[in-house]
């Protein structure tokens, strides 16, 4: 585990929270904070714990009694679709030790819940035994903003490299599990070139994955920051998103990829 990350622990009363995201009934976040330290991550805006918010990417809180709380939740709540996770990466390095995401799958799936996983990590392939067993009740999405490792190191400094995500995506897809690619947020002037985007569309095509696209959604912390974060926030305002999305739509038609705008119901 990355020695630069400080691990804290907490106890929770509930594991599942109502989700306001399309197609998700519940959110399950085994950890608070994320060690990937992506410069654009909106999750810090929804994190109450000051130690994590102010040291984003350097502090992670483990919900040590999560599984106990989840076992209670599945008995009292109607089955639905669970997003694993919505404001943390469920397969960030700390998962190697605590296995809260894996253990959550073992509780949810036999109880009739569907699970939609989103990650930047190849660690999810560790749980292929569970995913294959419950293949009709799971889907796995990988966030891939760029295939350029030098760019990824700047915008997603502690995340697994894009090549690892692509290999994991290919492996999961090859096992017959539903997969998708999250191309977002698109960063103006950095990851918005048609060449860059088409390379990701081609990967979605080869793995039979749905492609979700999303604009950079400017959050207050970005405007308060200095350097690249603030610069990106200013670029995003007034950016021709609809024009770019039309170009992506054409690329998806070209490569036979189902393409949707994230956080909305309309296909583009």
Looking at every residue in the chain, the average pLDDT score rounds to 95
| Predicted local distance difference test score (pLDDT) of residue 263 | 81
Average confidence (pLDDT) over 40-59: 90
Compute the half-sphere exposure of residue 160: CA atoms within 13 Å on the CB side of its CA: 22
pLDDT band at 44 (very low <50, low <70, confident <90, very high): confident
SS3 state of residue 221: helix
Q: 145: which strand partners? A: none
Q: How far apart are CA 204 and CA 206, in angstroms?
A: 6
43 CA to centre of own chain:
11
Query: Which of 121-125, 162-166, 179-183, 220-224 is predicted with the least confidence, judged by mean pLDDT?
Result: 220-224
Q: What confidence tens digit (pLDDT) does each residue in 103-134 have?
A: 999 999 999 999 999 999 999 999 999 999 99
CB 181 within 8 A of CB 209: yes
**Closest by alpha carbon to 201, among 166, 172, 233?**
166
| Predicted local distance difference test score (pLDDT) of residue 46 | 87
CATH topology of domain 6-261: TIM Barrel (3.20.20)
Average confidence (pLDDT) over 224-234: 94
| Predicted local distance difference test score (pLDDT) of residue 264 | 61
The two tokens of residue 258 are 């189902």
Q: What confidence tens digit (pLDDT) does each residue in 134-165 have?
A: 999 999 999 999 999 999 999 999 999 999 99
Beta 259-261 vs 178-186: how paired, if at all?
unpaired
CB 127 within 8 A of CB 133: no
pLDDT band at 268 (very low <50, low <70, confident <90, very high): very low
Q: Where are the domains of the chain?
A: 6-261
**First vs last C-alpha separation in the chain:** 40
What pTM value is reported for the model?
Answer: 0.94
């Amino acid at each position: 585990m990355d020695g630069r990350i400080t691990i804290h622990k907490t106890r929770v009363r509930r594991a599942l929270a109502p989700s306001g995201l399309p197609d998700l009934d519940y959110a399950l976040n085994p950890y608070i904070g994320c060690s990937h330290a992506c410069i654009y991550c909106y999750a810090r805006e929804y994190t109450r714990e000051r130690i994590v918010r102010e040291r984003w990417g350097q502090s992670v809180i483990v919900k040590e009694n999560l599984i106990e709380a989840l076992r209670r939740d599945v008995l009292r709540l109607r089955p639905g679709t669970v997003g694993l996770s919505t404001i943390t990466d469920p397969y960030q390095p700390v998962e190697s030790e605590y296995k809260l995401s894996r253990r959550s799958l073992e509780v949810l799936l036999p109880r009739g819940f569907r699970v939609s996983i989103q990650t930047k990590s190849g660690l999810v392939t560790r749980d292929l035994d569970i995913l294959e067993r419950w293949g009709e009740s799971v889907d796995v999405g990988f966030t891939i903003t760029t295939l350029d490792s030098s760019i990824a190191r700047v915008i997603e400094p502690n995340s697994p490299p894009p090549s690892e995500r692509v290999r994991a995506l290919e492996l999961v897809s090859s096992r017959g599990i539903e997969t998708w690619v999250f191309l977002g947020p698109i960063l103006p002037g950095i990851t918005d070139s048609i060449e860059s985007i088409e390379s990701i569309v081609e990967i979605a095509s080869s793995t039979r994955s749905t492609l979700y696209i999303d604009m950079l959604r400017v959050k207050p912390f970005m405007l308060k920051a200095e350097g690249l974060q603030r610069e990106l926030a200013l670029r995003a305002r007034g950016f021709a998103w609809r024009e770019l999305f039309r170009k992506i739509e054409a690329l998806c038609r070209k490569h036979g990829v189902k393409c949707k705008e994230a956080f909305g119901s309309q296909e583009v």
